[in-house]
Amino acid sequence: MTSNKNVPNRHGSAVVTLSSDTEILITRVFDYPAELIFKACTTPALIKRWWGFETAEWQVCEVDLRVGGRWRYVVRDRDMEVGFHGEYREIDRPRRVVSTEVYEGFPDGEALNTMTLEEVDGVTTMRTLVQHSCKEHRDAHINSGMESGMQVSYDRLEDVAAALGDTSAAA
């Protein structure tokens, strides 16, 4: 199953909820199987196609997808370089990934991200729970403008899943 033809796309539909003083919950539905979303979220060549803004130039995209493995993304956009890194804590393909995340411009603000993918009839609900150590770090994350960037990235992720789904259907 590639996509639900009743919904042309879900661009701009991610929902951000402040589930506690230290947590951010991001929910987004994709009309594609969990395996396609998981693959797009964990494969460097695919990550480069959706993560961040289209104008960003990738400097580093490393993924060592195993418990204890590390990941790192660095992009340059205009005259600014931005880096993030973390360590994988749990991997349950294609249902769950738990990893740390550090914005390198604020190294004391490490968060714990738990991404779950729940698929029903080829439609996958992605939930990412971002747990910060304190309210100040959570608020700084929210106030960074992350939501607009996240909407763009998730729209691009949907487009990557669509392309993967079309390729799978053709195979």
Q: Which of 84, 90, 52 is nearest to 71 (CA)?
A: 84
pTM listed for this prediction: 0.90
pLDDT at res. 7: 54
What are the residues whose beta carbons fall under 8 Å from the beta carbon of 71, sequence distance 6 or more? 62, 63, 64, 65, 85, 86, 87, 88, 99
pLDDT at res. 1: 40
**Angstrom distance (rounded) from CA 38 to CA 13:** 19
Question: Residues of the chain whose pLDDT is less than 70?
Answer: 1-8, 167-171
pLDDT at res. 11: 85
Q: Which of 159, 114, 151 is nearest to 15 (CA)?
A: 151
pLDDT at res. 2: 43
pLDDT at res. 27: 97
**Does the 15-41+92-170 domain belong in CATH 3.40.50.10320?**
no
pLDDT at res. 168: 59
Domains of the chain by residue range: 15-41+92-170
What are the distances in angstroms from CA 56 to CA 68, 94, 96? 28, 28, 28
